[in-house]
Structure 1
């Protein structure tokens, strides 16, 4: 983005005989257009790729309304019944596979209990001696997301695994409600290794139950 803006400033300066105020207006308009283009691309990614990933979940309501948190420059997203919201920070992420993972993870939170019922597990996420219910929910959403992307979007999956270091940095050091980035990446790598050794379906079910029953 910085390189692009440097080029635009250079182009305006050397091709326009306008005063600085007019030049600034043109650059500002270009920034706004670029931001809108990024928003549209993220919405398209959500509608064309994320929503179809959950086509197998017939008993959940996939959010269809897309909301932008314009004053949030951190990389963040959330989903609830009916809508998904994203920060400007996520819109500005250059790697599309990371955007895909973030959006899929958020919708996966909605699918977590539905998936548990399919595996005949209790109808709520409970705390365990090692992992509280908040962190369990994050691990489960990560697992659903990486499983759906690996099994249905192999090109995005390959790109995502190449960007695990960047994703780990984004996920951060962890908190009471969220596991650390390194631990989350490790859990996803465990799924990848098991799915390659056996099958994606076997790996997904085994690890889902392990997380739910606090046997990680």
Structure 2
């Protein structure tokens, strides 16, 4: 039977988390802080991003990985899927016609490479809300800097240890050629992060049971004939 391994943290331990800048265009800056208050009960991660007056597409992405949230397929078995849950809150925004607090997406790191969930982008609102993503298989994960889908994590029994966390992405698009859009800033909070690793099921398929039953029946018939001949 498949086993699930779950990790969760509401009162964050700063020493267990590490930030890595994934993407930064010239006109963006960001701040990441662990704050003791202001969370959805207790400590939380505070993120803010600033986009200077610029044209074109500008992005700021930072990954936050927990070194104690790990799964090793060589020890725990091949991985079937991953499920994530966390609370988000949008705080403030300026420079846009509608609130935009940045996006959050589940992330894993394997062999030094980052992968994010291609269909798991979540945008916080102005009140605390819990966001959940369940049963994300290996084909749902892509390299954030090369989203072709050619490079994916290894969920098989040969895969190396995976670490889990999230990516916060901020930025903006100035869609018109030659136009310079106004500066913008936005901030948000994340709390109560959890991840569940679901191993591949080892329960035999019904067809396997049928073959086992047929084989047992043949053995019983052979033994019966031997006893009759004796």
TM-score by length of 1: 0.23
Bigger radius of gyration: 2
TM-score by length of 2: 0.22
Q: Which has the higher contact order (CA 8 A, sep 6+)?
A: 2
Which structure's residues are more often strand, by fraction? 2
Which structure's residues are more often helix, by fraction? 1
